[in-house]
Structure 1
Amino acid sequence: MGKKYSDIKEKLQIVVDKKTTNDLAHLTHYFQNHKNGVSQCFRSSATEYLSELHEELNIAEEPNFQYYLPIKWDIPFPPTENPTFKFIDLFAGIGGIRLAYQNNGGKCVFTSEWDTYAKKTYEANFGEVPFGDITQISEKDIPDHDVLLGGFPCQPFSIAGVSKKNSLGRKHGFLDETQGTLFFDIARIIKHKKPKAFMLENVKNLVSHDKKKTFKVIISTLEKLGYNVHFKILNGKHYVPQNRERIIIVGFKKTVFKSKETFEFPDPQESNFVFKDILEPKVDDKYTLSDKLWNYLQEHARKHKAKGNGFGFGLTDLNGISRTISARYYKDGSEVLIPQKGKNPRRLTPRECARLQGFPDKFIIPVSNNQAYKQFGNSVVTPLIQAVAKNIVKELSKINESNQSKIAVHK
Structure 2
Amino acid sequence: MYKFIDLFAGIGGFRIGFERAGYQCVFSSEIDSHAREMYFHNFSEYPVGDIREIDVKTIPNFDILLAGFPCQPFSIAGEKKGFNDIRGTLFFDIAKIVEYHLPKVVILENVKHFKNHDRGKTLATVLNTLNNLGYTTNWNLLNAINFGVPQNRERTIIVGCLDKIEFDFNKLKKIKAKKLKDILENDNQENFEYLKEEEYTLITNPKQQLSGLIFAGYRNKNIRVNGIRPDTKHLSRVHKQPNRIYSSEGSHPTLSSQESAGRYYILHDGKVRKLTLRECYRLMGFPDDFKLIGSKSKLYNRVGNSIVIPMVEEIANQVKQQLLNPNCTPNHYHSPQQMSLFDFGLSYH
Q: Same fold (TM over 0.5)?
A: yes
Residue 161 of structure 2: aligned partner: 252
Query: Separation in 2 of the partners of 1:88 and 1:145?
Result: 7
Change (3 A) 1:292 1:366: farther
- SS of equivalent to 1:330: coil
Residue 317 of structure 1: aligned partner: 247
Change (3 A) 1:397 1:220: closer
Residue 196 of structure 1: aligned partner: 104
Residue 13 of structure 1: aligned partner: none
CA contact (8 A) 1:265 1:391 kept: no
Query: Separation in 1 of the partners of 2:198 and 2:247?
Result: 23
Please say if 1:269 is aligned against 2:174.
Answer: yes
Write the letter of the residue equivalent to 2:179.
V
Write the letter of the residue equivalent to 2:288.
D
Deviation at 1:104, TM superposition (A): 1.3
- Per-residue displacement from partner, 1:294-352 (whole Å, max 9, x unpaired)? 7995333353673796552331121110110011222351xx31126676x33221110
Residue 236 of structure 1: aligned partner: 144
Write the letter of the residue equivalent to 1:187.
A
Change (3 A) 1:289 1:120: farther
Change (3 A) 1:293 1:266: farther
Residue 18 of structure 2: aligned partner: 101
Change (3 A) 1:390 1:341: closer
Counting only pairs closer than 5 Å after superposition, residues 5-404 of structure 1 correspond to structure 2 as: 84-154=1-71, 156=72, 173-174=73-74, 181-238=89-146, 239-253=148-162, 257=163, 259-260=164-165, 263-267=168-172, 269-281=174-186, 282-285=188-191, 287-288=193-194, 298-303=220-225, 306=228, 310-313=238-241, 314-331=244-261, 333=263, 336-339=264-267, 345-399=272-326
Change (3 A) 1:262 1:315: closer
CA contact (8 A) 1:265 1:388 kept: no
State the TM-score, normalized to the length of structure 1: 0.65
Query: Separation in 1 of the partners of 2:307 and 2:50?
Result: 20
Change (3 A) 1:283 1:195: same
Q: CA RMSD in A?
A: 2.9
Change (3 A) 1:325 1:305: farther
Deviation at 1:365, TM superposition (A): 1.1
- SS of equivalent to 1:370: helix
CA contact (8 A) 1:304 1:312 kept: no
Residue 66 of structure 1: aligned partner: none
Residue 14 of structure 1: aligned partner: none
Write the letter of the residue equivalent to 1:88.
I
- Per-residue displacement from partner, 1:380-403 (whole Å, max 9, x unpaired)? 11000110111111235423899x
Change (3 A) 1:228 1:283: same
Change (3 A) 1:119 1:207: same
CA contact (8 A) 1:145 1:195 kept: yes
- Per-residue displacement from partner, 1:138-187 (whole Å, max 9, x unpaired)? 21221111000001125x5xxxxxxxxxxxxxxxx336xxxx81111111
CA contact (8 A) 1:230 1:250 kept: yes
Residue 341 of structure 2: aligned partner: none
State the TM-score, normalized to the length of structure 2: 0.76
Q: Using CA pairs below 8 Å that are at least 6 residues apart, which structure has the higher relative contact order?
A: 2
Q: Between the two proteins, what is the percent identity of the paired residues?
A: 40
- Per-residue displacement from partner, 1:99-154 (whole Å, max 9, x unpaired)? 11111111111000011111111111111110001011121221111000001125
Unaligned runs of 5+ in 1: 1-83, 157-172, 403-411
Kindly indicate which of the two structures has a greater share of residues assigned to helix.
1
Unaligned runs of 5+ in 2: 76-87, 202-217, 330-349
Query: Separation in 2 of the partners of 1:400 and 1:130?
Result: 35
Write the letter of the residue equivalent to 1:201.
E
